Structure 1
Amino acid sequence: MVASSDESVSKSQDIEPEKNSVIIEHEQQIETAKSAKSSIANTSPQKQLLALAKKYSLDAAFLPEPKQAPLEDRCFRRKKLTELRQQQNIEAIMLKAVQYCSDGTIADRADQDWFSHFVSLAEGISNKTMQSLWAKILAGEIAQPGSFSLKTLKTFKNMSINEAKLLAKACSLAIADTRKKNIWLLSGAYQPPKLFNFFNRQRQQRLDLNQAGLSYADILSLADNHLLFAQETESHALAKGEKIHFNYNGKQLSFVAKKADCILTFYKFTAIGTELAHLVSDNADDSFLTAIKNDLAENFTING
């Protein structure tokens, strides 16, 4: 049965106040979020769940049936609240991104399709730290289109704040070539066994990454997120006196082979890990740098 025009107008008038009430409710939630956050953190898991359910308009099942709003209205309210949160999130990221952008002239224009994908992936990010990282991605892509692939964005979307901190820890221990195109997490060095050094126990050294705060489980976690290769890689065999240069969190290092056929072992960052590593500010671990110089001293002289 088709509703009359009067009935349609009446129905639209009923819906419109509902929309306004949702917006008002969302604004009130924003105002009380900071105070509520600290109080929720100190309550029981049950109360935290109830608070989250209410915030996301999923608390109807906890109410007596006579007090429950119609299912259609609850669905509309939750959808509208989600859209409002997404809008608030992406606007916050845009505001942060502007602060990371320079006012200089750039030659290339950012890809609008890339930007559209960026918005779709970033609008669900409400954590302030993660928003700052997404803002850096946007600013970096605007300044130099092609800096961050869509594959990298999708990987980063699935990373938690703890996994992002784990990446930052790995970056604090890693070395890179001068252009930061190849990033290595050193694990040791050795000289292949030969007749003259076969009984030399010092021909192979291992760096204790666990002591530096990065366990093997952490390495596997980074590998699961496609940020690091789980399998160790080796450098070419260096001739005696051969020198290679690295950047260690802003410090220039040079490795000089003391003997023939000295080899470095390392975990290599993937292409995605390398792109995301550019979001992390230089934060050198001086104690690990000291360990590198001491533990690899049998085969290398390290300056820097």
Structure 2
Amino acid sequence: METEKKTVIVTKEDSPTDVIEAPTTPNSNGKNSETSASQRLTKLAKHFVIDGTLQPLEKQMPIEDRTSKRNRLEHLRKQKNIEAIVEKSLAYCANSDVKHKADNDWFSRYITLAEEVSNPTMQDLWAKILAGELTKPGSFSYKALKVFRDMSIYDAKLLAKASALAIKDQSKRNIRLISGCYQKPGLLNFFSSHRLQHVNLSHYGLNHADLLALAENHLLYTQESESNAMAQNEAIIFTYNGLPLKISAKKANVVLQFYKLTPLGAELAHLISDKPNEEFFDYLKKQLSHHFNVSSD
């Protein structure tokens, strides 16, 4: 069915009449629905009290009153946001005694950033930041808070995806996404089909474009890294979302390949709850088993 067109006449005071050809699309009831962009803009303008000039002239409040009203509602909105986050934080606060006093300067900066957050999902993450900082001061730097402030929900979900697939070393400061492993080429293995093993992260929801998006937010290094060549029987101990992962080299000169989270990414990744993906964990162990003995006991 061809899209019908409806002529919409827009008249402005002291200006010539404009004629806009606006397509309309029949809805489920067979009626034409108008383009909703202008309605959405009007609703947003009203919500943020910037719709003064959209009202008929005789209904417009003086601009001083409009400004005062907008400032008042903006302060109320910020107050509501930060109070909601503080309330959510109580559920994440540990019951153990806190030995170090909270940094008032950090808390003041935190409030300035967090009071802009109205999305409930993002408020939960900001609540975890506050609880984590109160329990262990120094857990989240001000720089990390500013990066997190500029992240969208989509960016936060990407970080959650990465955290669900990542491994941590024993210090929990270094977080990596294993992308493969290989044995350095030699006369005996040069033509082996198993010499290089790839870990397909995209099959588990994290493709190359997602990695680039994480890098743009300074959460991940785009350059793939490698471990030092390991000696036979040399072992490394990691954790995968709270589960132990011990790998020891079956042979000499085997190397792990991985993407590494930046220090900022590692800080923020601790916000994500440990939710191991059992299917991915089994797949990871299988891919590594060509060159490593893998234990998760």
Q: Aligned equivalents of 2:278 and 2:124: distance in 1?
A: 26
| 1:196 CA displacement | 2.1
| 1:63 CA displacement | 1.4
Aligned length: 262
Q: Aligned equivalents of 1:196 and 1:119: distance in 2?
A: 61
Higher helix fraction (1 or 2): 1
| 1:77 CA displacement | 1.0
Which residue in 1 is equivalent to 2:110? 118
1:165 aligned to 2:148?
Answer: no
Alpha-carbon RMSD across the aligned residues, in angstroms, is 1.3
Amino acid at match of 2:219: L
Which residue in 2 is equivalent to 1:237? 229
Which residue in 1 is equivalent to 2:19? none
Q: Which runs of 5+ in 1 are unaligned?
A: 1-42
Q: Which deviates further from its counterpart, 135-144 or 290-299? A: 290-299
Q: Aligned equivalents of 1:293 and 1:51: distance in 2?
A: 52
Q: Could you tell me the TM-score, scaled by structure 2's length? A: 0.85
Which residue in 1 is equivalent to 2:70? 78
Q: Which runs of structure 1 show a deviation greater than 4 angstroms over 4 or more consecutive aligned residues? A: none
Higher strand fraction (1 or 2): 2
Which residue in 2 is equivalent to 1:137? 129
Q: Aligned equivalents of 1:283 and 1:49: distance in 2?
A: 39
Which residue in 2 is equivalent to 1:258? 250
- Alignment deviations for residues 239-276 of structure 1 (CA, whole Å, 9 cap, x no partner): 11111111001111111211101100000111111111
Match of 1:211, SS state, is helix
Which residue of 177, 202, 207 maps to 2:199?
A: 207
Which residue in 2 is equivalent to 1:107? 99
1:150 aligned to 2:150?
Answer: no
1:185 aligned to 2:177?
Answer: yes
1:288 aligned to 2:280?
Answer: yes
Amino acid at match of 1:86: K
Q: Aligned equivalents of 1:285 and 1:219: distance in 2?
A: 19
1:91 aligned to 2:83?
Answer: yes
Q: Could you tell me the TM-score, scaled by structure 1's length? A: 0.83
Which residue in 1 is equivalent to 2:30? none
Aligned-pair identity (%): 51
| 1:66 CA displacement | 2.1
Q: Which runs of 5+ in 2 are unaligned?
A: 1-34
Q: Aligned equivalents of 2:82 and 2:46: distance in 1?
A: 23
Which residue of 215, 218, 243 maps to 1:223?
A: 215
